[in-house]
Amino acid sequence: MTTINTRMGDGSPLAMSEDELRRDIDDGISQAVENASVAPLNKEEIEYLVELFKRPDRIVGVEPGKEIVLTYDAATLKIKRHALFEDRVNALAMYERLLGADTLELCHIDYSYKTLKPIVSYEQATLEQALSVTHSPMFYGAMPNLGLYTQPDGPFPNPMELLPMGRIAEGRAAYDSMVDAAVEDICFISEIMWESGADGINFDTVGASGDPDFKASLLAAEKLKAKYPDIAIEMGMAGEFVLGMHGEMWHEGVRLAGLYPLDQLKLAEKAGVTIFGPVVNTNANESVPWNLARTIAIIKPCGERATIPIHANMGMGVGAVPVTDYPPVDVVSRASKAMVELCRLDGL
Amino acid sequence: MSENIYEKASRAILEHDEELALETIKIHLDGGAEPMALMNEGFIVGISKVGDLFGSGKLFLPELMMSADVMLVASQALNESMPEGQQSGYAHVHITAATVKGDIHDIGKGIGIALFRANGFTVHDLGRDVDTDAMIDNAVKNGSKIIATSALLTTTLGEQKKLEDHLKKAGLKGQIKTMVAGAPVTPRWASRIGADIYAENAHEGVSGVINAVREG
């Protein structure tokens, strides 16, 4: 009997039989169908995944001609996690020349639009330097991070304190105020960095604070697009569904809480977003085949129905990549190949 | 088919209907039935469904909080119906809860705490980015039987091991049990560091603590 060597979602090694592999793939698909109301993968797609995991190769890749855009968000922050203390401009050049990045993102360690306001003039100068030593399209990016708008970090009452006390209306009113303030901050920074020469603006980890976070990002995209019709906006999501922290927040007649990637994409397209980054979270307690089958079932409809480029999030803890500091290349390359070849993606 | 009393109790939680919950308790107790049966077969089933729906994005935080409130009312009402000395409430069980040092993520912790409180536990919420020794000090001061920690980052996971080490060093390991939770936390990690309870979600956390309390 063939033993298939793969990983758990926390990166630990796992040996499976083919039957076990097939069972995990089927379970992952069923979970996607149940949670995200998507269609199951077809027989050919399942066989593709089985063969992919059966391959003995340590690293796999896409066939020539099927390469797609490789983009990185918050790259200058991530390089520091590996104890490479390069300054941001050099780090971006390294990503472009050594790591195959097709787009770049300049960002600050305080990776939230709100906290960038007092230092934006310094960011303009760094952007100028970064643009002068690189060639790839350069985004400027940060998180909407509505968590920073509530007490004690911000001016508004904290819904996480109000809601458990049953003060639902007050909690929701606080979220409404936070959205308005966040839209102002996102637009303030985006306008300055766009006018300073950034090739695009990245809204990263959208929805990290739930439906108000997504609402603020959609409104900011609309506002920016109205002012600068040519602006490029990338919207990368935080999780596979929008957490309902408010629960009754709507946009374009759609309730935001609980939306899965395809419905998120439709709203992003309407808001004028240029590139959309869907996310499926990795479950550390399930195998990589389980996670990958589930991820593909959820992301595939985005690739099939999008009218804008889709750059799926593939990194530690998302896109079936294990939740571990150094995701192993055997499963990262398998997940990347399958996502590109089965989901019709435009970028990773 | 008509709805039985347990299904009604479960629905009261799902629909966060306090009146229905109290009415169900009255009917159940008037019929001379065992109070805890309604809790275990009805209300806990309801709150578990709420947890599952929240986990899959089909029910949202305000509703979760409202269901937790009804759960608390139901648990208090059932407890009061039991004779002194037989009350099975958990108010005497104190839990110290925190997000570990270096980690500011507290959504999951907030949900877990709401569910613990709904089940009648006394929770001391220390917030986020909390120093290990501050957790131990708080647990000792309040007589907490459990220290529950959440870590969302692979880089902050190590703080959960640090807690185990500090408890051992202080001679408190075993007297104070530990519960670990968070996206990168797995049963394997819990076992490696010697944590007493692993919780994949808020509901599992509550069941784990209930079992730990029963075991003593």
Q: Residue B14 has what pLDDT?
A: 93
Domains (range + CATH), chain A: 1-56+279-298+324-348 (no CATH), 70-277 (3.20.20)
- How many H-runs (helices) and E-runs (strands) does chain A carry? 12, 9
Over residues A113-129, the mean pLDDT reads 97
Which residues on chain A are in Cβ contact (under 8 Å) with B104? 147
Burial tier of B43 (Cβ tally within 10 Å: 0-12, 13-18, 19+)? buried
Cα separation of A336 and A334, whole Å? 5
Question: Distance between CA atoms of A308 and A276, rounded to whole angstroms?
Answer: 7
Q: How many percent of chain B have pLDDT more than 90? A: 46
* Cβ atoms of A147 and A182 closer than 8 Å: no
- C-beta of residue B181 within 8 angstroms of C-beta of residue B205: yes
Flag whether residue A164 sits within 8 Å of chain B, measured between CB atoms.
Answer: yes
Number of Cβ atoms within 10 Å of the Cβ of A230 = 7
Inter-chain residue contact A247 with B56, CB threshold 8 Å: no
A166 and chain B in contact, CB less than 8 A: yes
Interface test with A, best of B61, B63, B103, B189 (most A CBs within 10 A): B61
Nearest CA distance, B142 vs chain A (angstrom): 22
* Residues A280, A343 contacting (CB under 8 angstroms): no
Q: Say if B187 is an interface residue toward chain A (CB within 8 Å).
A: yes
Between these two residues, B34 and A143, which has the higher pLDDT value? A143
Q: Does B204 touch chain A (CB under 8 A)?
A: no
Contact B174, B147 (CB under 8 A): no
Q: Where are the beta strands (DSSP E) in chain B?
A: 94-99, 122-125, 146-150, 177-181, 197-198
| Segments of chain B assigned to CATH 1.10.1240.10 | 5-80
Q: Is B155 on the interface with A (CB under 8 A)?
A: yes
DSSP designation for B42: I
| Number of separate helices (H) and strands (E) present in chain B | 10, 5
Question: Distance from B68 to chain A by nearest Cα, in Å?
Answer: 8
Q: Where in chain B is the domain with CATH 3.40.50.280?
A: 94-215
- By the 8 A CB rule, do B135 and B167 touch? no
Tell me, yes or no, if A323 comes closer than 8 A to chain B by beta carbon: yes
Find the largest Cα–Cα distance for chain A: 63
B114 in contact with A, Cβ within 8 Å? yes
Considering only residues B75 and A243, tell me which one the structure prediction assigns the higher pLDDT.
A243
Protein fold of B94-215: Rossmann fold (3.40.50)
**A130 or B155: which leads in pLDDT:** A130
Neighbouring C-alpha atoms within 13 Å toward the C-beta of A205: 16
Fold of B5-80: 1.10.1240
Task: Name the average pLDDT for chain A.
Answer: 94
Q: What is the pTM of this model?
A: 0.88
CB pairs under 8 A between A and B: 86
pLDDT score, position A347: 92
